[in-house]
């Protein structure tokens, strides 16, 4: 029993290693060598989900370097391998298989777009989205579809019902002043005060600025620093 368990764990290790080896080779820029690693692995172990995933990294590597023909060739090869496997098992039954197939779909769509075939890329993605609507890949396919269909178009209107400040914020409001996203709050002080301080509310974190050692609203600045160094900075 232990012997069989050892063989099983060894097999898992071999399958996982191919992905790491191919990724390192792709990162080093030696894409032909990465292709040879995949070919040798397939001869020895067959077309497994891990080697399909590894092959998808080669497609992404070629796309990143602008080699569209090689990128598309590897992407379509990855897609064909994945489709062959899902004929006999569920797509999401294999953790890396959806990642490999969605990467192949993404690369092919980007190749079409870079070749000036945007309408073909959109049609391809819509077909794949409908095909895999019940799988974990739908969100990634939708993301790529949005990138192609929404680019260059005005942003849709935002229905804002609650905000902070006197003015209703919008996309053109910026990030300061009356936008309500980031505001500077200046507390009331005595007329003869000497310290110039302010409390800034920024993404839920409080920072205290003071020219003297006392901050009228926060107490002793040194005590604040000792209590929470991650949320206060003195200038």
Tokens for 169, please give them. 């914020």
Residue 109 has pLDDT above 80, yes or no: yes
List strand residue ranges (DSSP E) for 61-217, in order: 183-185, 198-202, 205-209, 214-215
What pLDDT score does 170 carry? 65
Fold of 14-150: 1.25.40
What backbone torsions phi and psi does residue 173 show, to the nearest 5 degrees? -75, -20
Give the residue with greater pLDDT, 17 vs 11: 17
Cβ-Cβ contacts under 8 Å for 56 (sequence gap 6 or more): 74, 75, 78, 99, 100, 101, 103, 104, 107
Give the residue with greater pLDDT, 223 vs 64: 64
What pLDDT score does 27 carry? 95
pLDDT above 90 coverage of the chain, percent: 53
* Mean pLDDT taken over the chain: 76
Q: What is the mean pLDDT of residues 42-51?
A: 95
What's the chain's Rg over C-alpha atoms? 28
Which uninterrupted H or E stretch holds 219? strand 219-220
Q: Residue 65 and residue 84: Cα distance in Å, rounded?
A: 28
Q: What is the mean pLDDT of residues 132-151?
A: 91
What pLDDT score does 61 carry? 97
**3-state secondary structure at position 173:** coil
Q: Residue 101 and residue 124: Cα distance in Å, rounded?
A: 14
Q: What is the mean pLDDT of residues 40-56?
A: 95
On whether the CB atoms of residues 78 and 42 are closer than 8 A, the answer is no
pTM for the full predicted model: 0.62
Residue 71 has pLDDT above 80, yes or no: yes
Could you report the per-residue pLDDT of 16-46, keeping only the tens digit for each?
Answer: 689 999 999 999 999 999 999 999 999 999 9
What are the extents of the domains in the chain?
A: 14-150, 193-235
């Amino acid at each position: 029993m232990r012997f069989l368990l050892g063989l099983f764990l060894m097999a898992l290790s071999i399958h996982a290693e191919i992905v790491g080896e191919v990724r390192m080779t792709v990162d080093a820029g030696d894409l032909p060598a990465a292709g040879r690693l995949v070919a040798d692995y397939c001869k020895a172990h067959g077309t497994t989900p891990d080697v399909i995933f590894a092959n998808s990294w080669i497609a992404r590597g070629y796309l990143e370097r602008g080699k569209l023909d090689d990128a598309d060739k590897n992407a379509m090869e990855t897609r064909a391998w994945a489709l062959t496997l899902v004929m006999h098992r569920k797509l999401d039954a294999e953790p890396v298989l959806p990642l490999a197939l969605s990467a192949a779909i993404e690369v092919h769509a980007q190749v079409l777009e870079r070749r000036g075939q945007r309408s073909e890329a959109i049609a391809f993605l819509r077909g794949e989205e409908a095909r895999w609507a019940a799988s974990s890949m739908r969100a990634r396919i939708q993301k790529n579809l949005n990138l192609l269909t929404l680019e260059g178009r005005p942003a849709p209107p935002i229905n804002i019902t609650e905000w902070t400040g006197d003015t209703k914020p919008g996309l053109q409001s910026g990030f300061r002043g009356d936008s309500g996203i980031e505001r500077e709050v200046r507390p009331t002080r005595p007329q003869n005060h000497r310290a110039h301080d302010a409390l800034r509310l920024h993404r839920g974190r409080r920072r205290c600025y003071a020219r003297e050692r006392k901050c009228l609203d926060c107490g002793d600045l040194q005590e604040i620093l000792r209590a929470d160094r991650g949320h206060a900075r003195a200038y």
